Amino acid sequence: MTGSAERAIVDRVAFNRDGLVPAIIQQWDTGEVLMMGWMNDEALRRTLTEGRVTFWSRSRAEYWRKGDTSGNVQYVKGAALDCDGDTLLVKVEQIGVACHTGTRTCFDGDQLAPVVGTAPTDS
């Protein structure tokens, strides 16, 4: 990806007032939702050009490339913007667990038990 191509993509993103965009991370082959992280323009640029997912850590105020310290690496397989340009979907090959708590996904632990809706049937 050339500098102008990545700049054109970054320019399409509707970053929030803090200069961040949420990035939903999904296992590329199963569709399993693994986690959500934040990216600024540089984290997005790195993700698009390096083949590994990079986030912006709001708590540490620094970049972190998933897996550099844990070994739980995310290799980029695809990426898309939603229709409003304000959320990213990054499809990855996840090596190891995705969640910092040690679970496969960040959505394993706190099931909310909502009322389950049913679509109407045609008569």
Summarize pLDDT for 52-107 with one digit per residue, the tens.
999 999 999 999 999 999 999 999 999 999 999 999 999 999 999 999 999 999 99
| pTM, full prediction | 0.89
Amino acid at 80: A
Measure the CA–CA gap between 77 and 88, rounded to whole angstroms.
13
**Would you list the DSSP string of 32-67?**
-EEEEEEE-HHHHHHHHHHSB-EEEETTTTEEEETT
Binned at pLDDT 50, 70 and 90, residue 123 comes out as: low
- Do 47 and 110 touch, CB atoms closer than 8 A? no
